Amino acid sequence: MNYNKELKVIKKAAREAGASLAKYFDQKLSIKIKLTNADFVTQADLEANKIITDLINRELPYVLVYSEEKKVVTKDSDYVLIVDPLDGTNNLVLGIPTFSSALTLLYKNQAVANVIYIPMTRQMYWSDGRDSYLGSKKNKTSIVTDLKKSTFAYQQDYLSSVTYKTKFENKFRQAGAIRILNNWSPQFEYGLLASGKIQGVYARNMFCHDYLGGVLLALKAGAKIKYFKKPQNLVEDQVSFIIAANQSILNKMKKILNI
């Protein structure tokens, strides 16, 4: 099935939202706490969310929008757009340029296309469900298989204890990994994985807007994944998994983590 029509509009929405986010970069923003002090929303998130939602409702009225900032479902549809209008809110607030607008299209509970747009560098990672791209260039995951030449990223939800992160970092450092990233922008890290820059990601208790598009992007570039428990409902289930650039790295991650 071809999703070119939807993808064209989704790319447009991501760019327009990204332009809105860029004007708030390194500016003083008021924040509203959500679940924890580390989980908050700003006017930048809300403005980008409105831009995306209004555009999708206008140009793709049959697509249901499910956003991190507004999870209200108003209609039934086989098409669902998972939206994180600002992935990396903390980065934007601190003046760190690695944040993005991330949009993932589902059709009948399957991820079929995605866009991750990084406004400060104007980079767009995307997948049409068949291949994975950065701009017009096809992505390909890393062929590195040596842990001592590998970089990994760690991601977790805001409610998980930091002890999990510490344990992960200790295990992988002992195994010889070059470094462990904790960038506060999960979707950006999947772009790094898909384009061959890093070798693996450990994700703990992630929500749909944190990982769905990035995982699709990485898998279509050649990545391999191991779910701790595969999600039944992509929209509602929190999931934990490891995803690696190639089967050799995945096997080594499984051995280190004893899974």
At 211-258, the pLDDT tens digits run 999 999 999 999 999 999 888 888 889 999 999 999 999 999 999 999
At which residue do the structure tokens 């700003």 appear?
42
At 146-200, the pLDDT tens digits run 999 999 999 998 788 889 999 999 999 999 999 999 888 999 999 999 999 999 9
pLDDT score, position 39: 46
CA distance 136 to 124: 9
pLDDT score, position 26: 82
Domain end (from 74, 103, 138): 138
Cα pseudo-dihedral 228, 236, 140, 175, rounded to 10: -30
Specify the pTM: 0.93
DSSP-derived secondary structure letter, 222: T
Count of the separate structural domains present in the chain: 2
Domain end (from 93, 120, 138): 138
At 56-85, the pLDDT tens digits run 999 999 999 999 766 555 567 899 999 999
CA distance 236 to 238: 7
At 94-138, the pLDDT tens digits run 899 999 999 999 999 999 999 999 999 999 999 999 999 999 999
What is the CATH classification number for the domain harbouring 46?
3.30.540.10
CA distance 93 to 47: 15
Same domain, yes or no: 71 and 178: no
Q: 153 lies in which domain range?
A: 147-257
Same domain, yes or no: 237 and 154: yes
Average pLDDT, the chain: 92
